[in-house]
A = this chain, B = another copy of it.
């Protein structure tokens, strides 16, 4: 028995997260399956930014560092993110970019494991994770070596030379989920520390950093946290490590007394030492609005819905496009998959462009991956039906064969 649109309407009608959609300003005529690249705009954000710009900056000027609480935003936003990733208070702060935060924590971890020189990751990890480690290894010369092991060989590669295991929890391309608690325990058994990149997890998956005994984590603010383009990122340091962590980007905001203007760096207590320069207040305020929404949603429900959206998408693609239309480039089992599905097709680029022309926004990842993300806060089950109907039409009618869809843009 195949599914009908009415089945998905029924799911929407009983969706306990349905009301969250009203908190986002989604454009008419668009089916947005790319919230894993750039989250949608919260309705509250434009007014928050207008107030920040016109009143706090324009009218109150420098005083707003105190009176509008700008100076406290990195901590406040971090505390709002903490429960979203299963962290007790005092362990998360918003700062810089994911890349910069990876550098801070990878360097700190190496310092905490003298005599061990390996940072272990996997090939095909999100590029910036690997690049930042290469930059650190180049800077530190013989003191650090980046070793990449395939997923199934990671556990074996955790030997006595490994200082840090750095992985992205949900793979950006395949959506495959790592066993965060299991690999964390394995790393600890080998005497290594762990650094989890949760960019594709926070706000869509259930992550329990404290329960897993995680050491460090980072994540970006512009995907499921809806913080806007290039939003500040965040980082997590387990309470037990906070006294020992010396991250090398020792800017003035990480000082114990930034406004004492001392010559000598003294790291702040707790998470504040993870700060570096002056925080970008526009980005922090927008991120706070996005996080506020996510933090009110039940994580188990977010995860359950995200999985069902993905399962339904795959079922409907098989039913409506035919079982051989695409190769599966993600796990078929929703439990092993993040909040996205990936299909492969030699003409993937052109197909994604043809879908975009129809208002179905997914994205393409070289060489041949069509990636569709499911933001459980604002997607409806019927959106999945409608998106797959467009995909089936594109394949049936051959839309994608038009020249205008096959020409690659500089940035995709």
A residues near B (Cβ < 8 Å) are 25, 27, 30, 32, 34, 37-38, 40-41, 45-46, 49-50, 53-54, 56-66, 70-71, 96-100, 103, 107, 111, 123-128, 130-132, 134-136, 138-140, 148, 173, 220, 222, 228-233, 246-255, 258-265, 276-284, 286, 356, 361, 363, 365-366, 409-412
CA distance A103 to B96 in the complex (A): 14
| A130 proximity list for chain B (CB < 8 A) | 263-265
CA distance A34 to B281 in the complex (A): 18
Complex contact B41–A99 (CB within 8 A): no
Complex contact A246–B100 (CB within 8 A): no
Complex contact A229–B34 (CB within 8 A): no
CA distance A85 to B358 in the complex (A): 46
Q: A97-B276, A100-B96 are in contact. Are A363 and B54 (CB under 8 A)?
A: no
Complex contact B411–A25 (CB within 8 A): no
Complex contact A127–B281 (CB within 8 A): no
Complex contact A135–B250 (CB within 8 A): yes
| A232 proximity list for chain B (CB < 8 A) | 280
Q: A53-B41, A132-B251 are in contact. Are A280 and B231 (CB under 8 A)?
A: yes
Q: A251-B132, A361-B61 are in contact. Are A123 and B263 (CB under 8 A)?
A: yes
Complex contact B123–A259 (CB within 8 A): no
| A125 proximity list for chain B (CB < 8 A) | 263
**How many chain copies?**
2
Q: A131-B252, A135-B250, A276-B100 are in contact. Are A65 and B411 (CB under 8 A)?
A: yes
| A253 proximity list for chain B (CB < 8 A) | 99
Partner of A127, one of B230, B248, B252, B363: B252
Q: Nearest Cβ distance between residue A355 and chain B, in whole angstroms?
A: 12
CA distance A260 to B222 in the complex (A): 21
CA distance A209 to B64 in the complex (A): 34
CA distance A30 to B65 in the complex (A): 17
Q: Nearest Cβ distance between residue A95 and chain B, in whole angstroms?
A: 10
Q: A54-B41, A62-B38 are in contact. Are A229 and B361 (CB under 8 A)?
A: no
| A260 proximity list for chain B (CB < 8 A) | 366
Q: Nearest Cβ distance between residue A405 and chain B, in whole angstroms?
A: 14
Complex contact A248–B41 (CB within 8 A): no
CA distance A132 to B277 in the complex (A): 10
CA distance A54 to B281 in the complex (A): 18
| A27 proximity list for chain B (CB < 8 A) | 58-61
CA distance A100 to B250 in the complex (A): 9
Q: A148-B263, A248-B138 are in contact. Are A230 and B279 (CB under 8 A)?
A: yes
Q: Nearest Cβ distance between residue A110 and chain B, in whole angstroms?
A: 9
Q: Which residue of B lies closest to A412 (CB)?
A: B259
CA distance A282 to B41 in the complex (A): 13
Given contacts A27-B60, A131-B250, 13 further A-B contacts (CB under 8 A): A27-B58, A34-B61, A41-B58, A49-B49, A62-B363, A65-B411, A99-B252, A99-B253, A128-B251, A135-B248, A138-B246, A173-B261, A259-B412
